C-alpha cells in the first residue's frame, strides 16, 4: 500500500477521460480510480523495472511465468551463496488493488533481502482487485506454491534456481496486503490436509505490517498521527477493503478481520512459527499487536518485532536514513528467523 504525491498535470489528464467511463465511484488519489462502468485506472507512480540488477549485489534475478491463462508470474532472486538456500515465497503490498512484483521499490528491497539474508525469493505477481476480488489473490498465492512443488518434483528447465533451493525450508512472506495473502495461504494449506505439498516443508510465515481491518476502530487507527506522505491512511484502507472484498461484505469478513466472530480461528494456522513485523507509526499498529497476542494465546510460536519511529511500508517507500537503518534491522531479524 502506498500513497505517493502525484504530478497534478497527470490528474488533469485523467480528468479529461471521466466522460468516457461515467462518474468516479472509488478513488485513492494518485493510486487508483474506479469508474461507474467498471473501468479502472492506475497511474504508474512507481516505475516498473526489468529483472536486471547491479553486479555488486551478487544476485541473479529472472521473471518466470507460473500460470499463463491467469497471467500469474513471479520474479526470482538468487544470491550467490554456497549450498542450498531456503525459499521465501513473497507477496507484495498494495491493498490488493495496486502494486507489482516489478515495482522498483520491491525489486530493490527483495534483492537486498536475498543478498543479506542468504535466501532465494519468489516474488509473486498476483491478480489485482477490483477486477479480481478476493479470494483471487489467495488462489494465485496457493497456485504459486503448487508450482514450486511441481518444480521440486520434476524440475522443468528451472535448474538455474531449483538446484540451489532447499525445498524442505519454505517460508511464506509478504508486506501489508501481501502479508494478508501469506496468512490466508497458510490457513488454506492447513485446511487442505488431504492435499500433500511434499516434498515442500513450510518452516514459517513472515508477516510485515499485515493489512487487516475491522468494523470497530482501534485507537491507533483513530488517533495515530501519520508521518508526512504516509503510506496508508484510514480512508485509503477503507477504500481498499471496499474494492477487494466480495460485494456487500463488511470489514468483519474473515479475510479482513481474522479475529471477528465466525472467522477461522488463529489456532488453525498450523504449527510452523510466525514472525510479525510492526511499524510503530503505522495506523495498523494496535490491530497487529492484538493479532500477535491472539496468536500467542492460541499456542502459536510467534515473534513480534516493533520497528521504532517509522510508518507503514517504510522498507519499500521511504528513503530516509532512519528508514534505511530500520530496513537493515528488519532484514537482520528475518535472517535470524530463517536460519534458526
The residues that are catalytic are 176
Chain centroid to CA 63: 18
What is the C-alpha separation between 286 and 282, in angstroms, rounded? 9
Name the pairing type of β-strands 165-175 and 120-125: unpaired
- Are the CB atoms for 103 and 45 separated by under 8 Å? no
CB crowding 237-254: b at 16 or more within 10 Å, else e: bebbbbbbbeeebebbbe
**Helix or strand or coil: residue 125?**
strand
Sheet holding 59-67, edge to edge: 59-67, 72-79, 120-125, 85-91, 165-175, 202-208, 274-279, 302-307
Chain centroid to CA 249: 22
What is the C-alpha separation between 283 and 220, in angstroms, rounded? 5
Query: What is the rounded end-to-end Cα distance, in angstroms, of the chain?
Result: 30
Amino acid at each position: 500500500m502506498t500513497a505517493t504525491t502525484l504530478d497534478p498535470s497527470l490528474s488533469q489528464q485523467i480528468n479529461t477521460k471521466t466522460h468516457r467511463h461515467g462518474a468516479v465511484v472509488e478513488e485513492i488519489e494518485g493510486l487508483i480510480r474506479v469508474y461507474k462502468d467498471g473501468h479502472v485506472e492506475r497511474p504508474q507512480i512507481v516505475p516498473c523495472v526489468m529483472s536486471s540488477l547491479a553486479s555488486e549485489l551478487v544476485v541473479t534475478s529472472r521473471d518466470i511465468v507460473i500460470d499463463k491463462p491467469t497471467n500469474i508470474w513471479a520474479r526470482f532472486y538468487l544470491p550467490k551463496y554456497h549450498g542450498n538456500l531456503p525459499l521465501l515465497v513473497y507477496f507484495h503490498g498494495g491493498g490488493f488493488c495496486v502494486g507489482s512484483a516489478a515495482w522498483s521499490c520491491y525489486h530493490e528491497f527483495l534483492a537486498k533481502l536475498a543478498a543479506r539474508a542468504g535466501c532465494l525469493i519468489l516474488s509473486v505477481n498476483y491478480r489485482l482487485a477490483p477486477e479480481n476480488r478476493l479470494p483471487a489473490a489467495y488462489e494465485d498465492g496457493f497456485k504459486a506454491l503448487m508450482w514450486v512443488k511441481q518444480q521440486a518434483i520434476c524440475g522443468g528447465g528451472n535448474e538455474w534456481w531449483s538446484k540451489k533451493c532447499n525445498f524442505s525450508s519454505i517460508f511464506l512472506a509478504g508486506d501489508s496486503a501481501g502479508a494478508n495473502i501469506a496468512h490466508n495461504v497458510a490457513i488454506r494449506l492447513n485446511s487442505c490436509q488431504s492435499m500433500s505439498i511434499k516434498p515442500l516443508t513450510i518452516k514459517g510465515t513472515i508477516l510485515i505490517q499485515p493489512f487487516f481491518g475491522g468494523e470497530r476502530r482501534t485507537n491507533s487507527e483513530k488517533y495515530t498521527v501519520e508521518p508526512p506522505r504516509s503510506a496508508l491512511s484510514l480512508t485509503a484502507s477503507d477504500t481498499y477493503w471496499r474494492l477487494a472484498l466480495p460485494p456487500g461484505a463488511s470489514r468483519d469478513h474473515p479475510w479482513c478481520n481474522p479475529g471477528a466472530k465466525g472467522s477461522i480461528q488463529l489456532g488453525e494456522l498450523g504449527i510452523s512459527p510466525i514472525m510479525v513485523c510492526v511499524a510503530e507509526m503505522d495506523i495498523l499498529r494496535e490491530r497487529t499487536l492484538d493479532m500477535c497476542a491472539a496468536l500467542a494465546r492460541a499456542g502459536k510460536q510467534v515473534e513480534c518485532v516493533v520497528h521504532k519511529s517509522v510508518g507503514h511500508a517504510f522498507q519499500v517507500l521511504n528513503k530516509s536514513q532512519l528508514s534505511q537503518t530500520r530496513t537493515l534491522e528488519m532484514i537482520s531479524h528475518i535472517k535470524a528467523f530463517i536460519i534458526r
